[in-house]
Structure 1
């Protein structure tokens, strides 16, 4: 017998908000609340023990090195095993590492190598989680509803960053970094519990493969066969590196020396989160036909925060800049996810996502580790201006690629799970197979 209340709830729920989608969104919101505050807490935990910009950069790099090393393996595993199990295992590792980090900070003065080791464990968990999570999300929505579903999902997770960053900065200032790290550990525990209930029965069974290396080669062919894809991944290898250095190293230093400490920097990051909500609202209604052209044009504002920190501008001005950047970056993010969902076969989503993540974070350890020495060599202001210049020049260069300008949105088709692998490979299917209509 059908439960009338359940039927009513299903009727009220949008087509893209199924059970898996709802669980994924709830879990992402919970973990986002903890993570956004923990990023601030980790930097200030290093500074509060007498560390300098180089030490902050080394701890940030320690998190990113295992992320780079294990991402491709994580993507291959996520396309072989049930993705929700990979996600839960990664969340467990993150929970334990953040809990240990919190205990060390609350118990006294943690040593630099201890903080770096725990950051490395967190990066390892992220390496296995990220490809599985992205593949799982994309497998839950249809082609026709993808853009709207991704926009609402990102609005939820970015909205969590508003409260998380503002609250995190305030808690660091009021109670210290240790308690914020403890909250993040608890958030990972809750998020992992929610993800344990994901249903993967709708995902087609994987055909027996030729091993890990064979899986990685298949993912590599998906990347290299699409010029729009590898070009933008290469662009973001540098863009993410300089943005990461500016936000994880220079931002906290400027906040400490010029803006009044952790609280205003937390407010600036919260303004960025508010901007992403505005951008998400925009993308629930705006459906640009040329996905990548619209998205890449919106990458140019990423040069603004580094410039604002280089001057430095007032706190209200920095907050305004971060809000604008949040709006424009969300346009890019939704366009990028929509294009991947549209062009990449379901059974290769996690591997392609892993290569995408790998390109995006590969240079982060180098950039964050060198941020302190570069500051000592040329000065903080010159280093920040250099970050802005690199972002603008690389983005202009990517726009010269015909495929980036030409990728178009595909007309609404059948659900993603119903599309066969052979159909995805058919000549002329999708714009990613044609040079003139090629996407991040």
Structure 2
């Protein structure tokens, strides 16, 4: 008689992911590396503050934070011809290796007495060059190893790991910085990426993944695939607008707490902790959405997030605005899982790395650009009206996307034989 698989944990949508003979070997390395990145959120700007001239702390902190992520957009194009068509584990492993080496050079330069703020920013930028390809590699690996019905739960596992690291990493970094110094937290981050690189090298077969594309492939092939597919292009535009419109929140929230609520940084930390806890719950819940229509769910997340942000902009009491911010985090969390699942089911595994890298290269710029816009907006409108404007704009973006989705669906009118006249989805 076959074993009963109807009970927990085998009934969980996550069981096929965590029990997969290859993925289960990779997940611990991903968790360790994510924790290192969570610590870097505090360590990277703190070391920039220590190395930079006192009268230019803000400029160098901003440059360091941008250098840790933004160069991945350049790497997507520069290395496109070399990396297009590589397997997911290979791409993710190369990203982890580069991160480990470039970050390890920071404490080595410190020991040699050569670490300056300029060299620090250059090494951070070098560490980020393959970041979009590494992220694409992780989601490509999911598509390579699992059937389509398990893609969303697997994406949710990756998102939950990142969400937990976002909560645990920063306070751990604070403790370690006070004990050993920020440069050694960077060294620890490098060690976590080295462990991840070894995990990819040893835990997965070297012959996995699709065959490599021809050497003459375009560096921008991933962008071309998205441009030719209206559904993927629409998804990219939706994500770009969603992340861009959230960017000003990073500027408005601290000023809202101090000027509107007349509170300290402690309350700001409570807001972000509530958002993080909501995100962790939402990440865990994302795997249970696999039977929901993915495109409708993805658009609904955008609308729901904007609605959850409205109490902040409307000046609701703390007892309302704080739970609403936590709810916004819960709604936000599944977005990456559902949007990545749409890419995974719409693109072949041969094209998927280039397509996801192109998607990541554009989206990595969205939040920084939105944050840059936040300064003038807060200066002109004030923090609370800026939060309200962002919330309303996000709701409007989702409704417009929903309108386009409905119009595309209605355009696929079936003929009398029951086949679609136009459209391929």
Q: TM above 0.5, one fold? A: yes
5 Å-filtered alignment, 1:9-408, equals 14-16=15-17, 17-46=19-48, 50=54, 51=56, 53-74=58-79, 77-101=82-106, 112-169=117-174, 171=176, 177-197=182-202, 198-206=204-212, 209=214, 211-213=216-218, 216-217=220-221, 219-244=222-247, 246-247=249-250, 260-261=264-265, 268-303=271-306, 308=312, 320-369=323-372, 371-372=374-375, 380=383, 383-402=386-405
Deviation at 1:256, TM superposition (A): 8.9
2:414 maps to what in 1? none
Cα distance in 2 for residues equivalent to 1:379 and 1:226: 40
1:323 and 1:47 mapped to 2: Cα distance? 30
Cα displacement (A) at 1:141? 0.8
Q: How many angstroms apart in 1 are the aligned matches of 2:391 and 2:160? A: 26
* Partner Cα distance (1:252, 1:174) in 2: 27
Residue ranges of structure 2 left out of the alignment (5+ in a row): 1-9, 411-417
Report the 3-state secondary structure (helix = DSSP H, G, I; strand = E; otherwise coil) of the residue aligned with 2:239.
Answer: helix
Per-residue CA deviation, residues 221-266 of structure 1 (Å, 9 max, x unaligned), is 432343222122123223323434544x6667778997644x7666
Mapped contact 2:85–2:351 kept (Cα < 8 A) = no
**TM-score by structure 1 length?**
0.73
| Cα distance in 2, alignment partners of residues 27 and 259 from structure 1 | 39
1:62 and 1:116 in contact (8 A); partners too: yes
Q: What do residues 342-369 of structure 1 show as CA deviations (whole Å, max 9, x unaligned)?
A: 2211111101101211231244454445
Separation of aligned partners in 1, 2:137 and 2:406: 27
> For the residues of structure 2 that align with 1:298 and 1:113, how far apart are their CA atoms?
40
2:253, 2:49 → 1: CA distance? Answer: 13
CA-CA distance at 1:68 after TM superposition: 1.5
Q: Which residue of 1 aligns with 2:5?
A: none
Report the Cα distance in structure 2 between the residues aligned to 1:216 and 1:196, rounded to whole angstroms. 27
Q: Is the 8 A contact 2:223 2:355 kept in 1?
A: yes
Q: 1:420 aligns to what?
A: none
Measure, in 2, the Cα distance between the counterparts of 1:397 and 1:289: 21
Distance 1:162 1:363, change over 3 A: closer
- Unaligned segments of structure 1, at least 5 residues: 1-9, 408-427
* Paired residues of 1:58 and 1:368 also in contact (CA < 8 A): no
Deviations 1:120-156 (A, max 9, x none): 2232131332222222222111123222333334333
**1:75/1:109 CA distance change after superposition, 3 Å:** closer
- How far, CA to CA, are the matches of 1:113 and 1:404 in structure 2? 51
Q: Deviations over 1:45-64 (max 9, x none)?
A: 44565456555433333344
State which drifts further: 146-155 or 172-181. 172-181
- Mapped contact 1:165–1:269 kept (Cα < 8 A): no
1:259-292 per-residue CA deviation (whole Å, 9 max, x = no partner) reads 644x766665454443333223323333344211
**Distance between the aligned counterparts of 1:269 and 1:280, measured in 2?**
16
Change (3 A) 1:77 1:311: farther
SS where residue 201 of structure 1 aligns?
coil
Tell me the secondary structure at the aligned position of residue 86 of structure 2: coil
Q: In the aligned structure 2, how far is the partner of 1:58 from the partner of 1:321?
A: 32
Q: Is the 8 A contact 1:274 1:326 kept in 2?
A: yes
* Distance (whole Å) between structure 2 residues aligned to residue 73 and residue 15 of structure 1: 36
How far apart, CA to CA, are the structure 2 residues paired with 1:151 and 1:352? 20
The farther-off stretch of 276-285 and 299-308 is 299-308
Alignment length (residue pairs): 399
Length-normalised TM-score, structure 2: 0.76
Contact 1:307 1:384 survives alignment (8 Å): no
Change in Cα spacing, 1:87 to 1:294, as seen in structure 2 (3 Å) is closer
Deviation at 1:158, TM superposition (A): 2.5
Indicate the RMSD between aligned Cα atoms, in angstroms: 4.3
